[in-house]
Structure 1
Amino acid sequence: MTDSITASPAPLFRRLAIIGPGLIGSSILRRARQDGTIAARLVACDISPDVCRRVAELGLADEVEHDPLRAVADADCVILCVPVGAIAEVGAHILPAMKPGAILSEVGSTKLSILTAIAPALRPDVPFVPTHPMAGTEHSGPDAGFATLFDDRWCLLTPLPETPAAATDLIVEMWHRMGARTRIMDPAHHDRVCAIVSHLPHLLAFTICGTADDLADETRSEVLDFAASGFRDFTRIAASDPVMWRDIFLNNREALLEMLARFMEDAQAMARAIRWGDEEFIVDRIERGRHIRRSLIENRQA
């Protein structure tokens, strides 16, 4: 008797093009290269010659293109991994060069602004499936990526009402093969959720580090010398790419400002509790934070 051999699934795409092989883009390339069932051929494209050269040195793609129109011309799927503020512009530039039936996707962390800006350029014969992998580090560039970045992380999808279900299903399956969990979400709801779980924490981290930097010289030196784990956590977040986060803040301003106003009200309530010695209120807020942390651990998100 011979052992049965289970054949690997056929690649989802014959040719997958990644525009912007930074942290997310290069992690997609690494996972696709390692997995072997996501795409038969990988193409990377960036406007920076240095990035293209480094991608080639790392062997992340079968082809490295400086010209985005050449990169997407024969691709079955194109994923835009550029900063949020550039997604619509780059998408509008490449859409005329994409072949009918190819899928356009992106990985921006805001959705309403992207959908509004790119809408005039969309083609009915090129399905658009926006996504947002909820994964990342404070590092950037092609060296920052790694194949396991998306393992057990959520990828949120916000397909348009007119997007064919088959196209959405292909992108869902791609992210499953990347190791991610997926959920389909309304774009406006997506932006509000991300404002509280991602954008507001980054805003607070940048602000706290700025406050520390504005202190008198002798106090600032003590902050750097004696930083405790809580402050170190803030500095890790604050080390994130400034251009990327500038674009995120400006493109999700309404949802972010709403969540910031809520936070400021809650911070004032905590300040009043501390001022007046309201121990019950303080303990309740701390316990709620502990509960959220336990929930994240149980959900494998910490």
Structure 2
Amino acid sequence: MTATPFVPPLFDKLVIIGPGLIGSSILRRAMMDRDIAREIVASDIDPKVCARVRELGIADQVEPDATQAVRDADCVILCVPVGVIGEVAAQVVPAMKPGAILSEVGSTKVSVINAVLPALASRPDIAFVPAHPMAGTEYSGPDAGFPSLFENRWCLLLPLQDTPADAVARICAMWEAMGARLRTMTPEHHDRVCAIVSHLPHLLAFTICGTADDLADETRSEVLDFAASGFRDFTRIAASDPTMWRDIFLNNREALLEMLERFMTDAQVMADAIRRGDDTIIVDRIARGRAIRRTLIENHQA
């Protein structure tokens, strides 16, 4: 998908609610590129977060009251945990001006869309464009963001059937200005894809680190002292924000459980191969993993 050309700026007023890793990265990029928005506003329920955004200078204005922040906004992007997106939408949608665009960056889509739609039922004049930038780190908060976070990363767009084409085109143009590559898909397909490429790896990382933590004291200390690169990679993923990932797991439970069941079946096949000394299966699984890694590198996603 390629964005439609627009006369800059794309938005007169852009509001980011929840300036964490993703939100503060959007803010930083938009502050660098004024073709994105003339006025950039950040909002958060936490006074400490608002204060830090002011200190960092990554927004033109910081407004703790979200309903005040969104007034006269052309575009509002919800960058809060998926478990509260519906609640925040219900708060801000009544205060948005006619013709404004509402978007969000949640890692689950069926649950998020279902949570947001009730707030939009009485506001057909608000365009809703769900999106998911497939980028991130294990860090969180306004200090974690950086303007190049979305460079050459995929941003998945999930426009609804009745979403105005102009609104979709503007959100596409914004993400292209952030450096992202665009792809559209259905919410259901999105949740299954993300379950295997993102949600399941995080679940496994949290579980492996929990298993290591539960080992006998002497063995546990050796794990921490002699951790090899493989275990260190898992700990990096496991350092991610607990609240965010709790919400993701619970809001994408069906797709995640499906992928977890498939993984457990495949893990049992590998265990049986090791037990039998079946090197054909073992080598095949390793070779397939290497091939996937090479593909990621070729696609500039690693």
TM bracket (short chain): over 0.9
Aligned residue pairs, count:
295
Matches within 5 A, 1:50-129: 50-122=48-120, 123-129=123-129
2: distance between equivalents of 1:222 and 1:128? 51
- The equivalent residue for 1:236 is 236
Per-residue CA deviation, residues 155-177 of structure 1 (Å, 9 max, x unaligned), is 00111101011110110010000
- Does residue 271 (structure 1) correspond to residue 243 (structure 2)? The answer is no
Instruction: Give the 3-state SS of the residue equivalent to 1:137 in structure 2.
Output: coil
Alignment-mate amino acid for residue 16 of structure 2: I
Taking the aligned partners of 1:117 and 1:69, their CA distance within structure 2 comes to: 18
Return the alpha-carbon distance in structure 2 between the equivalents of residues 144 and 203 of structure 1: 22
- Once structures 1 and 2 are overlaid, which stretch shifts more, 240-249 or 161-170? 161-170
Superposed CA deviations along residues 139-163 of structure 1, whole A, max 9, x for unmatched, are 0000000000000000001111010
After TM superposition, the score normalised by the length of structure 2 is 0.97
Picking from 12, 18, 24, the partner of 1:26 is 24
State the Cα distance separating 1:119 from its structure 2 match.
1.4
Alpha-carbon distance, 1:9 to partner: 5.3
What is the CA-CA distance between 1:104 and the residue it aligns to?
0.1
3-state secondary structure, aligned to 1:240: coil
- 1:241-252 mapped onto 2 (5 Å cutoff): 241-252=241-252
State the Cα distance separating 1:117 from its structure 2 match.
1.6
Tell me how far apart the structure 1 counterparts of residues 30 and 115 of structure 2 sit (CA, whole Å): 29
- Residue 3 of structure 2: aligned partner: none
2:256 aligned with 1:256, yes or no? yes
Give the distance between the partners of 2:295 and 2:7, measured in 1 at CA.
35
Q: Displacement of 1:77 after TM fit?
A: 0.1
Q: Does 1:203 align with 2:203?
A: yes
- 1:188 is the counterpart of 2:188: yes
Cα distance in 1 between the residues matched to 2:115 and 2:7: 37
- Partners of 2:278 and 2:172 lie apart in 1 by 48
Pair 1:13 & 2:15 matched: no
What value does the CA root-mean-square deviation take over the aligned residues? 0.8
Q: Alpha-carbon deviation of 1:10?
A: 1.3
Q: After TM superposition, list the pairs within 5 Å mapping 1:153-192 onto structure 2.
A: 153-192=153-192
Residue-by-residue CA offset, 1:113-153 (whole Å, 9 max, x unaligned) = 01112211112100000000000000000000000000000
What one-letter code is carried by the residue in structure 2 that aligns with 1:227?
Answer: A
The CA deviation string for residues 170-220 of structure 1, in whole angstroms up to 9 with x for no partner, is 100100000000111100000000000000000000000000000000000
**Structure 1: which amino acid aligns with 2:207?**
T
Name the SS of the counterpart of 2:77 in structure 1: strand
Residues 244-274 of structure 1: CA distance to partner in whole angstroms, max 9, x if unpaired?
A: 0000000000000000000000000000000
CA distance in structure 1 between the aligned counterparts of 2:165 and 2:197, rounded to whole angstroms: 28
Q: Which amino acid aligns with 1:156?
A: L
Q: Deviations over 1:52-83 (max 9, x none)?
A: 00000000111100100000011000000000
SS in 2 for 1:128: strand
Question: Partners in 1 of 2:115 and 2:54 — Cα distance?
Answer: 32
Measure the CA separation in 2 of the matches of 1:25 and 1:173: 17
Q: Secondary structure at the match of 1:18?
A: strand
Alignment deviations for residues 77-128 of structure 1 (CA, whole Å, 9 cap, x no partner) = 0000000001011011100000000000000000000111221111210000
In structure 1, C-alpha distance between the alignment counterparts of 2:73 and 2:116, rounded to whole Å: 20
**1:36 CA displacement:** 1.6
Which one of 37, 40, 51 corresponds to residue 38 of structure 2?
40
Runs of 4+ in 1 over 3 A off after TM superposition: none
Contiguous gaps of at least 5 residues in structure 1: 1-7
Report the secondary structure of 2:144's partner residue: coil
Q: State the match for 1:3 in structure 2.
A: none
| Structure 2 stretches lacking a partner, 5+ long | 1-5
